[in-house]
Structure 1
Amino acid sequence: MGQAIGDILPIALGVAISPMPIMAVILMLMSPRGRGASVTFLLGWVLGIAVVLTVVTLVIGPASGSDSSGPSPVASIIKIVLGVLALFLAFRQWRGRPKPGQTPQLPKWMAAIDKVTPAKAFGLGALLSGINPKNLTLCLAGGVAIGSVGLDAGQAAVVIVIFVLIGSCTVAIPVIAFLAAQKAVQPKLDELRGWLGAHNAAVMSVLLLVIGVTIIGKGVAGL
C-alpha cells in the first residue's frame, strides 16, 4: 500500500492545484447563494474524483493481472499513454496563456456563476472533477496507480480516500474558512481569485509537465 500512496501523491496534488475549481468556488462564495452552492459544489467535486478513481481501480486490477510484485506491462503502458496526454495538455495550456499585458479570458460559464443554484453547483463540481480533460487525465492516472499494485479491497479504499482528501483540499479549505469566518477570509479569497485568473495557464502547464514526466517515468520503470 505504501507504494500506491507514494505513486498517487503527486497526481492527487495535481488535482488539488487546479485553478479553475478554486476560482469557481470562490466566485460562488461571493454570490447571494454562496453558502449552499459552494457546499454542493464541494460534494460534487469529491464525488466526481471518487467515482473515476473507483471505476478505474476496479477495471485495472483484474485487467492488468497485477500482484504484490508490482505493476504489469499493461498498466505501465497505460501510464505512459496518460503521461503523454498530460504533456500534450501542458503544451496546450502554455500555448493558450495570456500574452504580456493581455487580460486573461475566463470561461463564459464563470460570468453567470453568481446565479448558480445548489443543484447546478453540484453538477458543475462533478463535471470539473470527473470529466474536465485535465482532471480526468490525472484521476485516470491515479486509478491506474492504485489498481496496478495488487491491493486488496480495504487497502485500495484507503488509498482512494487519501487521494480524494488531497485532491479536494484546495476546494474544501476556502468553503470551510468562509463558513467559519466570512468577513476575515473574503478579501484574501478575492486576492487569490485574481492571482489564479492571471496565472491559471502557467500554473497548469508547469504542473501537467511535471506530472506527465513523472507518470511516464513510472510507466517506463514498470516495463
Structure 2
Amino acid sequence: MGSAIGASLPIAVGVLVSPMPIVAVVLMLVTKRARSNAFSFLLGWVVGVALVGTLVILLMGGAADSDDGGTPLWAAIVKIVLGVGLLLLALKQWRGRPKRGEEPPAPRWMAAIEGFTPPKAFGLAFLLGAINPKNLLLVVSGAAAIVSATSERSDQFVALAVFVVVATIGVAAPVVVYLAMGTRAGAVLDDLKHWMVQNNAAIMTVLLLVLGMKMIGDGIGAL
C-alpha cells in the first residue's frame, strides 16, 4: 500500500494545485449562496476524481505485478503513453500562454458563477475534476500509478482514497479560509484568484512537464 501511495502522491499534488478549480471555488465564495455552492462544489470534485480513479482501477484490473515481482510490460507502456500525453499538454499550455502585459482570457463559465445554484456548482466541479482534459489525464495517471504499484484491490482503493483527499486540499483550502475569516476573507481570496488566473499557464506548464517526465522515467525504468 505504501508504494502505491508514494507512486501516486506527486500526481495528487499536481491535481491539488491546478488553478482553475481553485479559482472556481473562490468565485463561489463571493456569491449569495457562498456556503451551499462551495460545499456542493467540493462534493462534486470528490465524486468526479474518485469516479475516474475507481474506473481506472477496475478497468486495469488486479494484474499490477508480473510473476517475477516486477512491473508488467503493459503497465510500463501505459506510464510512458500517459507521460507523453502530459508533455503534450504542457506544450499546449506554454504555447497558449498570454503575452507579457496581456490579460489572460477568462473561461465563459466564470461569468455565470454568480447565478449558480448548488446543483450547478456540483456539475461544474464534476466537469473540472473528471472531464477537463488536463485534470482527467492527471487523475488517470495517478490511478495507473496505483495499479502498477500493487495488485491488492483493497490497497489500491486505500491509496485512491489518499489520492482523492490530497487532490481535494487545493479546492478545500479557500473554503477553510472563508469559514475561519468570514467577511475578512474577501481580500485574501480575491488576491489568490487574481494570482492564479494570471499564472495559470505557467503553473500548469511546470506541473505537466515535471509529472510527464516522471511518468516517462518510471515507465522506461520498468521496461
TM-score by length of 1: 0.95
The aligned counterpart of 1:182 is 182
Q: Give the whole-Å Cα distance in 1 for the aligned partners of 2:184 and 2:26.
A: 14
Contact 1:44 1:123 in 2 (8 A): yes
The aligned counterpart of 1:8 is 8
Bigger shift: 61-70 or 210-219?
A: 61-70
Q: Give the whole-Å Cα distance in 1 for the aligned partners of 2:70 and 2:166.
A: 24
The aligned counterpart of 1:32 is 32
Alignment of 1:1-223 (within 5 A): 1-62=1-62, 66=66, 69-223=69-223
Distance 1:222 1:97, change over 3 A: same
Q: Measure how far apart 1:179 and its partner are.
A: 2.4
Q: Measure how far apart 1:151 and its partner are.
A: 3.6
Matching residue's letter, 1:87: L
Q: Measure how far apart 1:154 and its partner are.
A: 2.2
Q: Measure how far apart 1:62 and its partner are.
A: 3.6
Q: Flag structure 1 segments of 5+ consecutive residues without an equivalent.
A: none
Root-mean-square deviation (CA, aligned residues, Å) is 1.5
Q: Flag structure 2 segments of 5+ consecutive residues without an equivalent.
A: none
Calculate percent identity across the aligned residue pairs: 51
Q: Give the whole-Å Cα distance in 2 for the aligned partners of 1:59 and 1:68.
A: 23
Q: Give the whole-Å Cα distance in 2 for the aligned partners of 1:157 and 1:124.
A: 25
Matching residue's letter, 2:122: F
Matching residue's letter, 1:44: G
Deviation track 1:101-141 (CA, whole Å, cap 9, x = no partner) reads 11111101111111111001101101100110001001111
Q: Measure how far apart 1:10 and its partner are.
A: 0.9
Contact 1:26 1:189 in 2 (8 A): yes
Matching residue's letter, 2:71: P
